Chains A and B, each alone.
Chain A
């Protein structure tokens, strides 16, 4: 079945540091890949997505590239801010997963001023 393995947290960084959160996946067929963000006390918001190999999703300074050869979709940001503190979820949706999202375990990011 489909699965997503995500870098374990928590991750604590200073403001303006570089961020990488690793995500690898196993899926049937050609999945779409997503990063969702959950701010404290809120629901999940789509951060970015990529739907085919070598696509790069980007939003709010965050980027992730769909790497089929390494089955990865790592999230990066060049300079994090305190307001980026949240839980980040990698997810996939494939034809083999009956259309629902399969999530990674989430990574808690705390950015200190």
Chain B
């Protein structure tokens, strides 16, 4: 059974387009995250939701808008895509927000903007 799943796995699109990436977890976790991994493999937090409420919003362009319809889903919508948005985006989840909680990651979505 897949714990954290993302769709699509690969996304190739033109500059200026709007696209969405979906994430679902079946672990019963309350907290979900989006991370961006750049071409040098560096991982950085973008957003986090706890029980559908935004709790982390790092310095990310307004073109990125997360949406959490319920606590099992956290989608990422990106408007007006730019070349610099090309990266691998990882969704993750934890049971709660405690320091001891382990994060479980999805397989990633490789976004390529042409």
Contacts and interface: CB of A to CB of B under 8 A. Distances in A.
Interface of A: 30-32, 34, 36, 38, 42-46, 49, 51, 87, 89, 93-95, 98-103, 105-106, 108
Contacts, number: 65
Contacts of A102: 45
B56 A99 contact: yes
Interface of B: 4, 31, 33, 35, 40-45, 48, 55-56, 90, 92, 94, 97-108
Contacts of B48: 98-100
A103 B90 contact: no
A103 B99 contact: no
B99 A93 contact: yes
B90 A99 contact: no
A67 B43 CA distance: 24
B56 A98 contact: yes
